[in-house]
Structure 1
């Protein structure tokens, strides 16, 4: 039987440890094509490049992969270029990550990792975004390997509901083993943001964005709770942003 065609991308850049491990796992189950940013693109959300040129360079970071490309654009640019310019056919799966840092809860809105997966979903490609709560590139990612393979194989075997992609987040693994997998909902949370205002040597003001993450959700069925308890959170994410429950309310307005 023909091996599945798997597109691998991310937002931390093509050389990040997360994507290199993801590539290793995907090679075990399919034929891999890599198209990923040539530099970090964290928190780019669903941004695309329209006012600058885009460049793709073929690279050879893994001798076993024939088609591996670094891209000057955003994670979404990578998926668009892969589908329209590089791949000969639509891939059977797109995996994005493994991101260094959590993309649980409201972070899914800002995440370049998840936006790449969403873009693939828009194209009708089953897609998964993988993230790990640890930001350090030195973090041991080996405990994630088996779970990445299991989730990817399940999606290849069973598919995903129309208009849905998966947001998978891994808990900390440096103190205790992963307890298992939980299918969750997105927690209600937000960033309490502040701007650190400074003055440069020329006397001009500039700002650094700072802040802290605040989980406002006390539910037991959320991704944040699962991660806190040592479980992998799997959240089905939809890219139809219509608030269907509000349509009737607006129909009662005098519009």
Structure 2
């Protein structure tokens, strides 16, 4: 009898997050599932790892099901590292991260703990996908996500991914009937126009709350932002090699060693 694919499931919203629970239910239809997820929310952690404190991973049971689950004290990237090195008894065939409560499209991928977990798996040569729903509410309805998550994960298991490539999937906050399908896209050029709300605590010390407005600077109709605004699931292949290859020749023309 053929061995089922081993699927590592993680996230950044914490092990009890509804998005993660939905992702688990979809993945157990595709293979053997092991969950290693943070014990508390880790949104916006990016690719942070724990270096100066102890890490813990505790076996837990949150739902009925065949999956094995571990609650980890570390970041999303820690969860993947610990899973691969200490918890799993074989190399996973796929790592899925999410379903995140909120967007990880465009520039948000840089800050995302969800995507950093997927990227960490990709660094290890494991096909990996990050899934996000454009609804930040804890009570978000993930029902419309299920078929798209399953379709994309099935194809990743079947076809694999190139070394150095991870998939970033964002799902609009619409009903299944309203979603038009999946569109393969590029990452839109966008940024956050940020402000700090400066206040004083009761002891008179200044403190700050970060706020800001997301601004899409890209008018292209081949971007993730366009797809999401027009009712499509966006599917963006991303890479973690940050080398600007197009600028190497230019740099070589600089007089750097004179």
- TM-score, with length taken from structure 1: 0.98
Deviation at 1:138, TM superposition (A): 1.3
Query: Aligned partners of 2:82 and 2:195: how far apart in 1?
Result: 36
- Which structure 2 residues correspond to residues 5-84 of structure 1 after superposition, within 5 A? 5-84=6-85
**Once superposed, what is the RMSD of the aligned Cα atoms?**
1.0
Deviation at 1:66, TM superposition (A): 4.9
- Which structure 2 residues correspond to residues 137-176 of structure 1 after superposition, within 5 A? 137-173=138-174
Deviation at 1:67, TM superposition (A): 1.9
Unaligned runs of 5+ in 2: none
Contact 1:48 1:77 (8 Å CA) reproduced: yes
Query: Aligned partners of 1:175 and 1:165: how far apart in 2?
Result: 25
Query: Aligned partners of 1:235 and 1:34: how far apart in 2?
Result: 24
Deviations along 1:12-56, whole A, 9 cap, x unmatched?
A: 000000000000000001000000000000000000000111111
Deviation at 1:80, TM superposition (A): 0.2
Query: Aligned partners of 1:198 and 1:175: how far apart in 2?
Result: 43
Unaligned runs of 5+ in 1: none
Query: Aligned partners of 1:84 and 1:105: how far apart in 2?
Result: 31
Farther-moved stretch of structure 1 (134-143 vs 3-12): 134-143
Query: Aligned partners of 2:178 and 2:36: how far apart in 1?
Result: 32
Query: Aligned partners of 1:144 and 1:132: how far apart in 2?
Result: 8
Contact 1:121 1:164 (8 Å CA) reproduced: yes
Query: Aligned partners of 1:186 and 1:233: how far apart in 2?
Result: 9
Deviation at 1:175, TM superposition (A): 9.6
- Which structure 2 residues correspond to residues 73-222 of structure 1 after superposition, within 5 A? 73-173=74-174, 177-222=178-223
Deviation at 1:224, TM superposition (A): 0.2
Contact 2:115 2:168 (8 Å CA) reproduced: yes
Query: Aligned partners of 1:189 and 1:127: how far apart in 2?
Result: 24
* 2:132 match: secondary structure: strand
Aligned to 2:255: 254
Contact 1:33 1:65 (8 Å CA) reproduced: no
Deviation at 1:65, TM superposition (A): 3.2
Deviation at 1:174, TM superposition (A): 5.1
- TM-score, with length taken from structure 2: 0.97
* 2:83 match: secondary structure: helix
Query: Aligned partners of 2:249 and 2:5: how far apart in 1?
Result: 43
Count of matched residue pairs? 255
